[in-house]
Structure formats: C-alpha cells, structure tokens
Amino acid sequence: MTQPPDNSDRRQPETRSRARANAALLGAFCLAAVVIYLLAGPRSDQVNGRTEIVYWHGWAGKEFKPLQKIIDEYNRAHSNVFVKPTYVGAGYQKMRIAFAGGDTPDVCSSVWVEDIPDYAERGALTPLDDFIASSTRRLDDYPPPIQECYRYNGKTYALSMSVSAIFVAYNKQVFRESGLDPERPPRTLEEFDRAAEACTRFRNGRREDGIERLGFPYGGLIYWANAFNVEFWNQQTRQTGIDSPRMIECVNWMKSNVDKYGFQAQRSFASTFGNLLSPNNPFISGKIAMAIVGDWYTEIIKIYAPPGFEWGWFPIPAPPDGRTSSTLLDASMFVIPSACRHKREAWDFIEYITSPVGQLGFKTGKEPSALAATKTVQADPLFQTPYWNFVKELASGPNAISIKTPLYNKFLFLLNRIEDQTLSGALPPAQALKEARDAYTEAVAEVLRK
Amino acid sequence: MTKANAISLTRSLAAHAVLLALSAAFALPFIWLVITSLKPPRQIFEFPPRWIPDPIQWSNYREAIQAFPFIDYTINTLFVTLSGTFATVASSALVAYGFAVVRWRWSNLFFLVMLSTIMLPGQVTAIPVFIIFKQLGWIGSYRPLVIPAFFANVFFVFLLMQFFRTIPRDLVDAARIDGCSHLDIFWRIMLRLSKPALAVVMFFSFTGGWNDFMGPLMYLNDDRMYTLSLGLQQFMAQHSAEWHLLMAGSTLMILPIVALFFFLQRTFIEGISLTGLKA
Amino acid sequence: MRLIRQGIDNEYLTGMAFILPWLAGFLIFVAYPIGCSVYLSLCVYDGMRPPEFIGLANYASIFRDRQFYKSLWNTLYIIFLGVPLSLVFSLALAMLLNQKRRGISAYRTLIYMPCLTPVVAMSVLWLWIFNPEHGLLNLFIMRFNDLLQSAGLGLLRLPVPGWMNDPLWAKPALIIMGLWCVGGTMLIFLASLQDVPRTLFEAADIDGANWWQKQRHVTLPMLSPVIFYNAVMGFIGGFQYFTQVYVMTDGSGNPNDSTLFYALSLFNNAFPHWRMGYASAQAWILFFITLGMTLVVFRISARRVYYHGA
C-alpha cells in the first residue's frame, strides 16, 4: 500500500534541496523550449521594402542554375519587387497541401499541362487573359496546339517557356545490324511492328535462353491510345472513351505484340533496364531499339550517351484509321494561384520569364533542351536543325494534343493498371476496361457535382 | 591444449563465422552505397553490376560537397536534429513515467487515446496540421519541425513505459516512504536504471530528425535554411540525375549516424547493468 | 481513510502533470486535425473547394469497392507473415549480438546498417537482388538446386520465382526486404536484454537448466514487455505499410494489384487522385481495424506479458 506523501511543513532539509533541484530542472527544460523556439524562427529577408514574389518550381540542381541567373537579372532590374524561388520537390505533395491550407505562392511552375483542368476546375488559378490583352504578348505567336495547352474552358490559365512533344526514338546502329534501313524509319503501325520484331534478338539465338535485345518494349498505353484515336474525355458529354471499341482495339494490338515473346520474359528483361536518367538507360545501352520519348531526350542523349551514338526519330505510328503524327504536348506551366496578393507583379514576372529571354536562356548547355513555345523564338537559328524542325512540325501539327481529362493522375493510374492486367492475361481487355471506366466515372462524378 | 579449451575455441570460431556471415549479408546495402559513390556515372546502373569501380572516382565526394553549401546545411540539420532529440527524449520520458509508474484513475483510458492517435494515417491529417502551423505563423521556419517534439512522441512514450515497468515496484514504494517526490524517483531512479532504453530512444529520434525529408520540404521555403536531405535533392533534376554524387552525398550524410550508433551501442554491454538493484 | 483518499487524489494530479506534455500537444496539434478528418470522411473534399457533406456515402462506396478488399487482404498478408517473422528474426539477432565477444560492436553496427542506408540506394540494390534472371537471390537458389540435383535430391528443388514480377511472389519479396531492416526492432531487444538480471541466470544454472530452458523461462518472460511493444507497433506500422513498396513500384500496385496495399491506395486517393474525403473515410476504417486488432493483442497478452516491476 502506498503511503500518502509527507506534509510539506515537516519536510527534511534534504527533501527541500531535492525539490529545489527538481524545480531547477523543470525550469531548465522550459527555458530550453523557449530558446529553441526563438532560434527556430524564420530568417528575415533582405527585401528592403520590395514586394516579395514567392515563386515555386520543380527544377533542382543543374537544371535550376540557368533559371536562377534569369531571376537574378530580373531582381537586379526591378527595384520594387524581389522574386524568391523555392524548390517544391518532385512529388508536388507540398503544393497540394499548401494550396489546401491557403498558403500559396505568387507564381508557380510546378504544374503540368494535364494538371491545369484539375486546378482550374477548382478555381485555384487566375485567368491570365486580361493581363495578356494589356501586354505586348500575343497569343497567336504560339502555335495553336500550344495555345490549347494553356487554355481550359475558354480561358487562358498559364504560359510556358518551352513545350515537349512525344515521339519514337530509334537506334540507327541497331536498325542497320538488323537489316533495316536506318534512314527510313517505320511509317505505319505494321512497319513498326515488323521493325520491332526484326530488332529483337535472343541470347545465343535461342528463345528459351532469354531476350538479349527487344525491338520495342510494348507499353505506354496513353500514347498509343491517342494514336488509335481514342477520345480520353469529352467535355460536352462528360464521358470517357476509356472502354471504347478503339481502346479495345489498341489493347488487343499491344497484347498481340507482347504475346510474341511472352509477357513474363519481357517483364523480367525489363527489370534489367537501368534508370532512364543514366548511361544504362536501356535505349542508350542498346537493350531496346526503339523507345517512346519527348523532345527533352536530346538532353539525355547528350549527357548519357557515348560519343557517336546514332539515333533517329519518327512520329508515333498509327493504324490506318488512327491519328497520324499524333503527339501529346506537355510543359511546366507558369500559373498565378487565385490567392496570390500581388497578381500584377506576378504577371510581370511570368511575362518576363516566358519572353524570349527565358525561352532562350533556360538551357543547361549551348543547345536548347526543349522546344521554345513561341513561333518567334522557334525561328531562331538554334531551332533550325533537322531534329528541332521535326519537333516543331510535330508540336504544331493537327494531331498535337494536350490532355484535358479531369483527374488525370487517376486516369493514368487506371491506364497503367489496364496495361498490367491485360498484357499479363489476368483479365480479358473488355472486362479490365469496363472496370477502369466504372472506377473513373465514380471518381469524376465527385469533381462534376458542382 | 586441454579438451575444454579446444571446445571453447571451436565454439568461439563458430560464433564468429556465423556473425561474420550475417554481417556480410547485412552490410551489403551499405557496401553497395559506398561502391556506387565511387563509380563513374556510366557504371552505376550497369547490369550485371560490377563490384569494383573502374576507375575509383574519389572526386565524386569533392563534387558532392561543392554542389551545395554543405557546412551550412550540416549546421541547420544539426540544429533541427539536436533540439528535436533533446525535446522528444525529455518530454517522452516524463509522459512515460506518468503512465507507467504513477498510479491514477483514467490513466489506462488516456493511454489508449494516446496510442490510438498513431493509428490514423498521417496523410489525412496533413492539411489541418498545416493549417494550424499557418495560423501560428510558423510556415517557413524550423518551428513546425522542432516545437512538436516538446509534446512527446507516442512511439517513444510507449517504449519507455515498457522499460519503466520492468523496474521493481518496491523500489518506487520504498522511495515514496522515504519522502521522495515522483520527480525525484523519475530523475534519480527511473532514468538512471533505463540508460539502454534512453539511448535507443535518443538514437531513433536523432536518426529520424537527421534523415527527415518530408518535414523540411513541407515547411521550409528558404534555401539558406535547408537541411542535408533537402540539399541532396540537388542531384535529382527532372532530366538529369547525378547518381554518383547523390550516393557520395548520402554516404557522407549517414557517416555521423554510423559513428553515433557505434558509440551508443556500447551502453549495451551485457552484465554491467545494475543487476543488483533490478533483481 | 481520509488520508488514503487524499493520496489517490494527489496521485491523480501528479499523473496528469507528468502526461501534461503529451496532453497539451494532443489538444494543440492533434485533436483538431483528427476532428477534421472525421468530418471530411463524411464529405466530398478535393483539398481545394470547400467540403460538401454527403453522409456515409464514402463509406458505402468503399465497402462496394473490390479493390478495398484486395488491398486489405494484401495488407493483412504482409502483417500476419511479416510481423511474426521479423519479431523472431530480430529477437534471434539480438540474442546473438548480446555477447561479450571481440568485435561485437562492429558486428552490431554492420547488422544495423540497412536501416541507415537511404531508400534510393537500397532500391537499386533490391532491384538487382530480386531480378528474376540475373538476380543474386535467384543465382543463389539455382546454385543450391544444382547442388541438390547432384546429391540426388532433385525432388527438393526450390522454385526460382519472378519476385517483383510475379503476383504470387511480390509480397514475399517485400517481406524479405523488410527482414533486412529489422535493425530497429533488434536494437530495442538488445537494450531490453540488458535488463535481464544475471542472478536469474545463475539461479537457473544451479537448477541445471540448459540453454534453451534458460531462454524460455528467463529471457523470454523478461523480454515480454518489449516483445509486446514490438508486436503492437508492428501491427500499427503494418497497416500503414507504404514507403518501401512505393519506392519499388511507384505506387502502381503492380503486378496485378498484388502490391496494392491499404495505405498506398489511401495515399493515391488523398493527393494524386484529389479524393481527400474518400481517403479520410478509408483512414477511419483502417483506424477501427487497427484499434480492434490492437485491443485483441492487448487482451491476449494481458496474462502473458510479465512486468517485473508490477
């Protein structure tokens, strides 16, 4: 049985000194708390009464350096504003939480083309039309498909420095070795499949010893579905074409190609691929002969490929009734969140950074790493090479598309799932597509209820 | 050599063989990290991988350190980590004592409430938590990273409770009769008899703070205030990743923790805990 | 009588005073977010527009979803296989490392190492180890099979799995990866082993107990509080299993939903898929499952955990 504690007035001196020591310890703990609290405070900024423009971006390290230079110049030239860039990481989870918490930056470029509908639909972005109209910037200086990237429901929400387009890259040397003409890339889907087959090689020439080189790792449903003329989303009817007959055709085509060598064999071969951003990138190391890439691929080749690496490019081939020269456009979009308190200054910065200064200045080497957004800058001698002419034509063509599907991440997640389920044979295509459609429709219903 | 000696020698050899084999298997990731950190970029994702870099590229380390303000970020990380560790260990030990040793009505209920707070995944409370910090004006400072540490960590509270509970109750009761207050017992008996447990909690808390990535990413907006884990992101650009530098930076970053572990685990030498008191 | 009452009341205040740091933190930083998530689980909420109340519709739609059961199954799989395995394994390691032997510090440090190695570096290594064709593990298995074959035991040959590529083997692969990182659990056991009094062993020696009997009747009971702790934390952590699988699969759940874990699906809904309301409902279902199972563990262990101090 516990004894009740002593009465305080009868405490012995020893007890009292212990009590004092204890009080001192607790006091020290509280004092430490206060000191740490003070030390942990924010650092004051040297903005000297200038309006601070908080700018969030997703570029790290070397990629950010040229941008930092442009921002520094801007800050030097403007005595009333100060642009402060902050890296928000690759996952953009910070952005979503900060937007939800009402702590948004003034300018943000960590938004992709496909994210625009999701942010715009929820009223999180400022339309830029009035700013553009009152400035010297002319939207018709952008090729129409690129203008379309910036638009949602008739309003312009973003501008960009550059734009990327998707196409197929092929290894010329492998083509030559495989008896294909390296200067005449496949044009139709049939030619493409035949080229892929011709480039595939087995170890010791025996199928059962495993794959040594794959012509093309069939996958990337979103790009092929686009070439097969699948309508991802119809804004009028608010319906998805994810389970349309065209989509089933696309999945069946892909599956028939995968089945040539067996799904498991290809998957285990694919698990030996090195990271895309490394010299062991399977396209560079010759493990695959063709790959679906974007125009930034020239940068990857420049950094990681050995000297003399020969590669070519051609548009994603389409079936006879599909979209020829189809491509998906993407870009880091400069937007102004609606909660921004300095919209005029924010626009001024966007106008500057997306002007020719930014379009030409944002590159790590001498050559550009992405296609400039405006026609004026695209006319620069830098973009007059065969490669950039090809990209320019592709990105301005009638089948250059920017995705306007709500809940794009969910959509992409479902497409990946379809790919996995159907190619492995776990589910028949029709069932997998129907399930995906139901899941997508249910999620989208939440978006559309307002 | 006597027979007994021979047996003990064989046993010792066998024990070392087992320990060596296990250590080799467990050290693999770290060895791998160090090897990768010395490779030229071309060899990092080679398949099948090579064990010995050719050439051994020591310059990776120099480059990694020069890529960002390494010293400043180390100081920032140390500040966040040390203050967080101090705060967590002190507050968690107090709370653990309150639950494990002091006997009071409702303590079980409060304990259950405390334990249940970690059963809800953090993703769904991230937004309101952010809003609280915003209301307090703490966004952009270290406060969201260190101040909550003063309010105890559930994992550590529970862990310390389990250790406090193994300390004989008679010891507490006797001290009470002698006129010791609970603070006395906490300070003079419990903490002193739980050194291994405190070392573990301290170490976990230190490692957690040192490696934390999401916290600093979420709440810091000024690159002068960045921690090492944020600094390492420098090497992961969208279209070019410098794996060799990332690995070199990571190796440097975990070395202090390895050293800390090495020294802390010396607290765990069998037989020197105050067995007389505890039995 | 009055004195005793007073004593208990005093202890009540003392107890509250000691837990005050947690209680204050709970009221300031935890209670409001938890309350929010309860409300949000009854709403359509995308993390941007104001939440709209829809009653229990989120819960109803979760229970209708086939993927909910799939992800729950995957999660329970990894808990019921992974938690006991890692407990036994880390306990064995701790006992092995609790010796006075030359170089024991180095051994301990090396065995703890995987917990310190950054996940990025680990994932590159894992991909190699579990590679179906040239992976270290399968190479080892194939060697072993050859050995069996030559010894005439061909029937006992082990399967050579596709690991992360095979819906059947992806979860076991993840469990094996988890075993590599038992250092934390091991460290707790190691600390706890310091509390096992020498005298008890000596007494057991006098009674003529062998090694196993000593472990069974002395070490295990003395360790039971931390075994209990590690089990409870293993459960709670297992339900929120996320980081490792996210690194290995990019959160896709492939192959064939075999790595779609509960927390993964929850994360996908919370941020990438803009369904915070739905994710909150998922979180609360998870909460009650975890709470229920934890209470069962508490009930079962009530008589088996031995508190030396109690």
The CATH number of residue B120's host domain is: 1.10.3720.10
In percent, the amount of chain C with pLDDT more than 90 equals 52
Contact C279, C266 (CB under 8 A): yes
Instruction: Count the neighbouring beta carbons within 10 Å of the beta carbon of residue C51.
Output: 18
Tell me what pLDDT residue A129 has.
Answer: 96
Cβ within 8 Å, pair A60-B234: yes
* Closest chain A residue by Cα to residue B87: A33
Cβ within 8 Å, pair A40-B141: yes
Cβ within 8 Å, pair C29-B132: yes
On chain A, the residues whose CB falls within 8 A of the CB of B131 are 101-102
Both A296 and A201 in one domain: the answer is: yes
DSSP track, B22-82: HHHHHHHHHHHHHHHHTS-GGGTT-SSPPSS-SS--THHHHHHHHHTTHHHHHHHHHHHHH
Give the HSE-up count for residue A409: Cα atoms under 13 Å, Cβ half-sphere. 21
Both A307 and A412 in one domain: the answer is: yes
Tell me what pLDDT residue C309 has.
Answer: 60
Both B84 and B184 in one domain: the answer is: yes
Cβ within 8 Å, pair B121-C266: yes
Q: What is the pTM of this model?
A: 0.91
Token look-up 């080749």 returns A301
On chain A, the residues whose CB falls within 8 A of the CB of C165 are 264, 267-268, 271
Both B161 and B99 in one domain: the answer is: yes
Which residue of B102, B262, B270 is in closest CB contact with C194? B270
Residue A67 lies in a domain: yes
A417 φψ region: left (φ > 0), alpha (ψ -120 to 50), beta (else): alpha
User: To the nearest whole number, what is the mean pLDDT of chain A?
Assistant: 91
Tell me what pLDDT residue A2 has.
Answer: 43
On chain A, the residues whose CB falls within 8 A of the CB of C7 are 2-5
Number of domains present in the structure of chain A: 2
Overall average pLDDT of the A219-238 stretch: 94
The verdict on A271 touching C (C-beta cutoff 8 Å) is yes
Number of domains present in the structure of chain B: 2
- The residue segments making up the domain with residue B262 are 29-67+237-279
Contact B245, B58 (CB under 8 A): no
Tell me what pLDDT residue C310 has.
Answer: 54
Both A294 and A341 in one domain: the answer is: no
Both B216 and B268 in one domain: the answer is: no
- In the structure, what pLDDT confidence band is assigned to residue B273 with cuts at 50, 70 and 90? very low
> Which CATH number goes with the domain that contains A115?
3.40.190.10
pLDDT in tens, A259-308: 999 998 898 888 888 888 888 899 999 999 999 999 999 989 988 899 99
CATH of domain C63-120+180-301: 1.10.3720.10
Cβ within 8 Å, pair C117-B30: yes
Residue A22 lies in a domain: no
Residue B195 lies in a domain: yes
Residue A136 lies in a domain: yes
- In the structure, what pLDDT confidence band is assigned to residue A249 with cuts at 50, 70 and 90? very high
CA nearest neighbour of B229 among B88, B76, B115: B76
Tell me what pLDDT residue B111 has.
Answer: 96
pLDDT in tens, B6-56: 888 888 888 899 999 999 989 888 888 899 899 988 887 777 778 888 888
On chain B, the residues whose CB falls within 8 A of the CB of C118 are 33, 211, 250, 253-254
Both B244 and B231 in one domain: the answer is: no
Both A324 and A335 in one domain: the answer is: no
Both A380 and A300 in one domain: the answer is: no
Domain ranges within chain C, ordered by starting residue? 63-120+180-301
Tell me what pLDDT residue A401 has.
Answer: 94
Both B267 and B195 in one domain: the answer is: no
The set of residues, in sequence order, having a beta carbon less than 8 Å from that of A232 and lying 6+ positions away, is A225, A226, A240, A241, A242, A403, A405, A411
In percent, the amount of chain A with pLDDT more than 90 equals 72
* Closest chain C residue by Cα to residue A104: C48
Cβ within 8 Å, pair B103-C11: yes
How far is C173 from B223, CA to CA, in rounded Å?
A: 39
pLDDT in tens, A353-368: 999 999 999 888 888 8
By the 10 Å C-beta count (0-12 exposed, 13-18 middle, 19+ buried), B89 is classed as buried
**Biggest distance spanned by C-alpha atoms of chain C:** 83
Q: What is the ipTM of this complex?
A: 0.91
Both A127 and A116 in one domain: the answer is: yes
Closest approach of A100 to chain C, Cα-based (Å)? 5
User: To the nearest whole number, what is the mean pLDDT of chain B?
Assistant: 89
Interface of C with B in 269-308 (CB under 8 A): 270-271, 276, 279-280, 283-284, 286-287, 290-291, 294, 307-308
Both B255 and B187 in one domain: the answer is: no
Residue A107: its H or E element: strand A107-112
Cβ within 8 Å, pair A33-B145: no
A61-70, A168-177, A217-226 — which is least confidently predicted? A61-70
Phi, psi for A236 (deg, rounded to 5): -75, -55
Q: Is the pLDDT of residue B277 over 50?
A: no
Residue A75 lies in a domain: yes
pLDDT in tens, A175-227: 999 999 999 999 999 999 999 999 999 998 888 888 999 999 999 999 999 99
Both B57 and B136 in one domain: the answer is: no
Both B34 and B84 in one domain: the answer is: no
Cβ within 8 Å, pair C93-B107: no
DSSP track, A15-62: HHHHHHHHHHHHHHHHHHHHHHHHHTSPPPP--TTPEEEEEEE---HH
Tell me what pLDDT residue C111 has.
Answer: 93
- In the structure, what pLDDT confidence band is assigned to residue B2 with cuts at 50, 70 and 90? confident
Both A304 and A338 in one domain: the answer is: no
Residue A1 lies in a domain: no
Both A89 and A136 in one domain: the answer is: yes
Contact B111, C15 (CB under 8 A): no
Tell me what pLDDT residue A45 has.
Answer: 66
Cβ within 8 Å, pair B131-A41: no
Both A306 and A336 in one domain: the answer is: no
Both A379 and A433 in one domain: the answer is: no
- In the structure, what pLDDT confidence band is assigned to residue B1 with cuts at 50, 70 and 90? low
Contact B84, B149 (CB under 8 A): yes
pLDDT in tens, A111-141: 999 999 999 999 999 999 999 999 999 999 9
B61-65, B198-202, C115-119, C179-183 — which is least confidently predicted? C115-119
- The residue segments making up the domain with residue A322 are 165-328+407-448
Which residue of A123, A271, A417 is in closest CB contact with C132? A271
Closest approach of C240 to chain B, Cα-based (Å)? 7
Both A313 and A339 in one domain: the answer is: no
Cβ within 8 Å, pair C131-A271: yes
Q: Is the pLDDT of residue B151 over 50?
A: yes
Which residue of C17, C125, C193 is in closest CB contact with B270? C193
The verdict on C273 touching A (C-beta cutoff 8 Å) is yes
Q: Which stretches of chain C drop beneath a pLDDT of 50?
A: 1-6
- In the structure, what pLDDT confidence band is assigned to residue B82 with cuts at 50, 70 and 90? very high
Q: Reduce the DSSP state of residue A335 to 3 states and report it.
A: strand
On chain A, the residues whose CB falls within 8 A of the CB of B223 are 86-87
Tell me what pLDDT residue A4 has.
Answer: 47
Closest approach of C192 to chain A, Cα-based (Å)? 27
- In the structure, what pLDDT confidence band is assigned to residue A7 with cuts at 50, 70 and 90? very low
Residue A260 lies in a domain: yes
Residue B17 lies in a domain: no
Q: Reduce the DSSP state of residue A145 to 3 states and report it.
A: helix
Overall average pLDDT of the B95-119 stretch: 93
Residue B21 lies in a domain: no
Token look-up 């799932």 returns A417
Q: CA distances (Å), C198 to each of C90, C91, C220, C310, in order?
A: 22, 19, 14, 20
The verdict on C8 touching B (C-beta cutoff 8 Å) is yes
Tell me what pLDDT residue C3 has.
Answer: 44
The type of residue at B265 is Q
On chain C, the residues whose CB falls within 8 A of the CB of B159 are 188, 226, 229
Mutate which of B46, B106, B107, B123 to test chain C, going by most C C-beta atoms within 10 A? B123
Cβ within 8 Å, pair A274-B46: yes
- In the structure, what pLDDT confidence band is assigned to residue A327 with cuts at 50, 70 and 90? very high
Residue B10 lies in a domain: no
User: Contact partners of C by the rule of 3+ C-beta pairs under 8 A?
Assistant: A, B
Report which DSSP code applies to C133: T
